[in-house]
Amino acid sequence: KILKDIDDIIKKFSKEFFMPADDLQKQIDDLINIPFNGSKTSSLPKDEDEFLSEENSDSELTADHVIEEKETTATGVSEKRENGQTEEKQPPLYERAENESILKANKKDDSLLKNIAPADKQEQLADKMKQLEQARKEEQIKETALSQGLGYINLKGLPIMPEALRLIAENESRAKGMIAFMYKKGMSIRLAVIDYNNEVQKIISRLSQEHEGINASVYLTSEVSMAAALKAYAALPKIIPHVDEVAVLESDLEESAAELKDLKELAEKIKKVNITQVLSLILSAAIRVESSDIHIEAEESGINLRFRIDGVLHHIAGLEREIWDKLVSRIKLSSKLKINIKDKPQDGNFSVHAKGEPIDFRVSTLPTLYGESVVMRILYHAKVKGMNLDNLGIEEYNRKILDRELTKPNGMLVVTGPTGAGKTTTLYAILNKLNTADNKIITIEDPIEYKIKGINQSQVNKDRDYTFAKALKSVVRQDPDIILVGEIRDKETAEISLNAALTGHLLFATLHTNDAAGTIPRFLALGAKPYLLAPALNTSLAQRLVRKICEQCRTEEVIDETKKERIRLELWSLPEQHRNLLPEELNNLKFFKGEGCEKCAGLGYKGQIGIFEIFQVTDEIRDMILADNVSEHKMKELAVRNGMITMVQDGILKALRGVTSLSEVFRVS
């Protein structure tokens, strides 16, 4: 009876499908009895981890996944042979049938399944029909790919490389209908897309810029195939290979900048995301507020997350211990550190790209009583381009002195101040000014923080016994015009530096002193010989960094009389030649502060600026050095008499203009 019913149905529908009844019968027999394999697609992996199998991470595409180049003809698809001849293939049933497929007929009448197949075969037949419909769609996508000059790929069962997945964030991948499935660093990226539209092209262009010199190949794929591939993101946190870069995309930063109006909101956002997103969220927030350091500290009460912003530490959030442990492991992997070592300090680094610019993170771990403390120093490469003397906050009265010193052919200029005072920034700004074709500049640093084009930079290495002193001995044989010594720490380095400054080199160095006048006593304390120091040292520049008041929320600040009296005394102490800088009414001084707004993330400050004092070594001071009649107090007194404006005075003058607050000046000086 079943066979008779099938016979009747075949005769009825053979006319509708414009094909002989025998052909339709054969198609149905194939569907019921033979496992469908028309599209050559592999089944999905049983476990999501198979998507990210490290064994398969270098797998090449196979014939099951990529279509070969074909020519479309009026009657069907013809494949090229090696001899140049073509062999026509009959289009399959679903392309010749007017109603496209048996599945379409099934949509019209659900009873067809009951009539065509026995009860135990109906579910199987329905599955085969769905596969048949999907195969038809895959054929259409192949043709579309050919017409657009793109490749075609079926992502089902294809191992997807973790390094490739990290190139595009999951939310962006889902929103744009695209995925990176293969990545060879410095060589190629392979991407699958559902629709090759303008938005997708922008992302591909961005990836090409972020990975300079890389070749991006694009393949069309189906929605079903894309959905299968996107499951790989779920397995991504389980396997984190050693990679050089953590993908923090511009879209992540833009989203963070748009949503994070106040740093207090970050604590709540961290609680709502999974561990994969926590690191990206923390990095994005830190970059958004231009933090210089990220601190993740274990304490008895919990885990503390703090950002150093414009020189000041701010508590950002408390982290759960479960999140902290996984977060530290993720940071270690990214920094190429050993995860299992928790009782020894480790140092590493990793990089991210944001707004098309590379940003480096120097990572330091330290074992503490309640667990490892992690500090990430953030180095913004884009800032190097903007490091020039015009935007450091050097006022005209100091700038004239500095410009004159930089024209000297030899001698030493020392920049002093504590850690975090901005000494490196000032020296890099000076080097940028002097970095011309007729100057050979060599630096000795520990470590090299920023790379400057046109300058030879050398990094000391204690493990290899490559010290400042040994490096400097070699540098003077390299025929330099200008030398930068990152820090003078000992007698040997001090003496070699002074000798280099006396033998035709302009030498810059840093020293840890409280003020500019303290440079000479510090050199003598290191064991420098007075007869070398007196002629070699030209100038000492001392500095501190103060936070700039946010221009958006700046408002007048009320100052008590005690502070006003101190300010008046400092201003009255200005050298005679700089009395023109005094405000007209010393009894009616106005100062300012920041209220806190969206632009400054509620802090009231945005950015930093320097306050400076420049100590010039005159003949009178040289005589004092040679006579061994040196005291810091005498040096400073003589310098002020010769016209030096102190750091405090420089800061107060900036505060009167509303550049910084009075509390900031007194905080650092």
Asked whether residue 27 is domain-assigned, the answer is no
Q: What is the pLDDT of residues 12-51, one digit of tens each?
A: 554 444 455 555 555 555 544 433 333 333 333 334 344 4
Asked whether residue 315 is domain-assigned, the answer is yes
Contact (Cβ atoms closer than 8 angstroms) between residue 507 and residue 411: yes
Q: What is the pLDDT of residues 285-299, one digit of tens each?
A: 898 888 999 999 998
Contact (Cβ atoms closer than 8 angstroms) between residue 325 and residue 308: no
Q: Which of 359, 379, 399 is the last residue of a domain?
A: 379
Which of 68-82, 537-551, 609-623 is least confident? 68-82
Claim to verify: residue 414 and residue 357 sit in the same structural domain: no
Claim to verify: residue 265 and residue 361 sit in the same structural domain: yes
Contacts of 528-531 spanning 24+ positions with Cβ under 8 A:
528/491, 528/494, 528/495, 528/498, 529/495, 529/498, 530/625, 530/626, 530/628, 531/626
Asked whether residue 556 is domain-assigned, the answer is no
End-to-end Cα distance, the chain: 102
Q: Which of 316, 349, 379 is the last residue of a domain?
A: 379
In the prediction, which pLDDT does 98 show? 36
Indicate the burial class of 82 (C-beta count within 10 angstroms; 0-12, 13-18, 19 or more): exposed
Claim to verify: residue 497 and residue 639 sit in the same structural domain: yes
Claim to verify: residue 519 and residue 388 sit in the same structural domain: yes
Asked whether residue 559 is domain-assigned, the answer is no
Claim to verify: residue 373 and residue 460 sit in the same structural domain: no
Higher pLDDT, 648 or 336: 648
- Rounded Cα gap, residues 373 and 298, in angstroms: 6
Question: Residue 321: which CATH number?
Answer: 3.30.450.90
Q: What is the pLDDT of residues 311-349, one digit of tens each?
A: 999 998 888 887 888 889 889 888 888 887 889 999 999
Average pLDDT over residues 507-530: 95
Q: What is the pLDDT of residues 203-212, one digit of tens each?
A: 888 888 777 7
Contact (Cβ atoms closer than 8 angstroms) between residue 413 and residue 508: yes
Q: What is the mean pLDDT of the chain?
A: 80
- Rounded Cα gap, residues 457 and 450, in angstroms: 10
In the prediction, which pLDDT does 198 show? 87
Integer CA distances (angstroms), 73 to 78, 345, 523, in order: 7, 68, 87
Average pLDDT over residues 44-71: 42
In the prediction, which pLDDT does 265 show? 73
Claim to verify: residue 490 and residue 508 sit in the same structural domain: yes
Top-confidence range, 76-90, 188-202, 203-217 = 188-202
Claim to verify: residue 354 and residue 416 sit in the same structural domain: no
In the prediction, which pLDDT does 30 show? 52
Higher pLDDT, 558 or 28: 558
pTM of structure: 0.62
Contact (Cβ atoms closer than 8 angstroms) between residue 654 and residue 393: yes
Beta strand residue intervals within 447-535, DSSP E: 456-459, 482-485, 506-511
pLDDT band of residue 121 (cuts 50, 70, 90) is low
Share of the chain above pLDDT 90, in %: 42
Claim to verify: residue 267 and residue 357 sit in the same structural domain: yes
Claim to verify: residue 401 and residue 370 sit in the same structural domain: no
Contact (Cβ atoms closer than 8 angstroms) between residue 442 and residue 475: yes
Question: What range defines the domain where residue 307 resides?
Answer: 250-379
- Rounded Cα gap, residues 577 and 574, in angstroms: 8
Question: Residue 399: which CATH number?
Answer: 3.40.50.300
pLDDT band of residue 79 (cuts 50, 70, 90) is very low
Higher pLDDT, 351 or 479: 479
The total domain count for the chain is 2
Q: Which of 345, 379, 413 is the last residue of a domain?
A: 379
Contact (Cβ atoms closer than 8 angstroms) between residue 620 and residue 572: no
In the prediction, which pLDDT does 112 show? 52
Integer CA distances (angstroms), 547 to 517, 594, 651, in order: 25, 10, 11
Asked whether residue 218 is domain-assigned, the answer is no
Asked whether residue 89 is domain-assigned, the answer is no
Q: What is the pLDDT of residues 423-450, one digit of tens each?
A: 999 999 999 999 999 999 999 999 888 8
Average pLDDT over residues 97-105: 42
Q: Is the confidence at residue 579, as pLDDT, over 80? A: yes
In the prediction, which pLDDT does 179 show? 92
Contact (Cβ atoms closer than 8 angstroms) between residue 441 and residue 434: yes
Asked whether residue 277 is domain-assigned, the answer is yes
Claim to verify: residue 404 and residue 375 sit in the same structural domain: no
- Rounded Cα gap, residues 66 and 153, in angstroms: 4
- Rounded Cα gap, residues 583 and 511, in angstroms: 34
Claim to verify: residue 513 and residue 613 sit in the same structural domain: yes
In the prediction, which pLDDT does 92 show? 43
Q: Is the confidence at residue 400, as pLDDT, over 50? A: yes
Q: What tokens appear for 55 in the block? A: 């064994």
Claim to verify: residue 402 and residue 488 sit in the same structural domain: yes
Q: What is the pLDDT of residues 356-383, one digit of tens each?
A: 678 899 999 999 999 999 999 999 887 7
Asked whether residue 359 is domain-assigned, the answer is yes
